[in-house]
Amino acid sequence: MMGAEPFEADVVVVGTGPGGATVARELARAGRRVLLLEKGRSERGTALYGTYLGALRYTERGGFLFTPEGIQLVIPSMVGGATGMFAGCAAEPPPWLQQRYGIHLERETTETIEELQIAPLPPEYRGTASTRLAETANALGYEVYPQPKFMRPERATRFDCGAKCFLGCRCGAKWNAASYVDEAIQQGARLLTQARVERVLIEEGQVVGVAGRWQGKPFVARAERVVLSAGGLGTPRILQASGFEGVGERLAMDVTVIMYGVSRERGNAADPPMSWSWHDEELDAMFSPLVDPCLLYPIMAGMSGVRYVGSWRRWRNLLGIMIKLRDTLSGQITPDGRVSKPLTPGDSKRLEAAKQKARRILVKAGADPNTIFASPLRGTHPSATVRLGEMVDTQLQTAIRGLYVCDASVFPEALGRPTVLTIIALAKRLARQSDFYGSPGIEAGTGRASARVAGE
Q: What does the pLDDT read at residue 449?
A: 58
36: left (phi over 0), alpha (psi -120 to 50) or beta: beta
> What CA–CA distance (Å, rounded) separates 13 from 140?
47
SS3 content of the chain, % helix, strand, coil (to 5): 35, 25, 40
Q: 3-state class of 309 per DSSP? A: helix
Longest dimension (CA), the chain: 68
Rounded to 5 degrees, what are φ and ψ at 36? -100, 130
Burial (Cβ within 10 Å: 0-12, 13-18, ≥19) of residue 6: exposed
Confidence category of residue 440, pLDDT binned at 50, 70, 90: very low
Beta carbons within 10 angstroms of residue 187's beta carbon: 17
Check if the beta carbon of residue 143 is closer than 8 Å to that of residue 279. Answer: yes
Q: What is the pLDDT of residues 192-251, one digit of tens each?
A: 999 999 999 999 999 999 999 998 899 999 999 999 999 999 999 999 999 999 999 999
What is the total residue count of the chain?
456
pLDDT at 444: 35
Q: What is the pLDDT of residues 302-341, one digit of tens each?
A: 999 999 999 999 999 999 999 999 999 999 999 888 999 9
Of the candidates 163, 23, 22, 14, the one whose C-alpha atom is nearest the C-alpha of residue 85 is 163
Measured CA to CA, the distance from residue 244 to residue 43 in angstroms comes to 32
d(CA 294, CA 318): 11
Cβ-proximal residues to 81 (8 Å cutoff; 6+ apart), any chain: 15, 16, 17, 18, 20, 21, 177, 231
First to last CA, the chain: 21
Cβ-proximal residues to 393 (8 Å cutoff; 6+ apart), any chain: 442, 443, 444, 445, 446, 447, 448, 449
Question: Between β-strands 206-214 and 190-193, what pairing exists: parallel, antiparallel or unpaired?
Answer: unpaired
Instruction: Look up residue 397 and give its DSSP letter.
Output: B
User: What would the pLDDT profile of 66-75 be if each residue is shown by its tens digit?
Assistant: 999 999 999 9
- Cα–Cα distance between 333 and 376 in angstroms, integer? 21
The set of residues, in sequence order, having a beta carbon less than 8 Å from that of 250 and lying 6+ positions away, is 329, 330, 331, 332, 384
Predicted TM-score (pTM) of the model is 0.95
- pLDDT at residue 445 is higher than 70: no
266 close to 132: Cβ distance less than 8 angstroms:
no
pLDDT, the chain, mean: 93
85-128: pLDDT as tens digits: 999 999 999 999 999 999 999 999 999 999 999 999 999 999 99
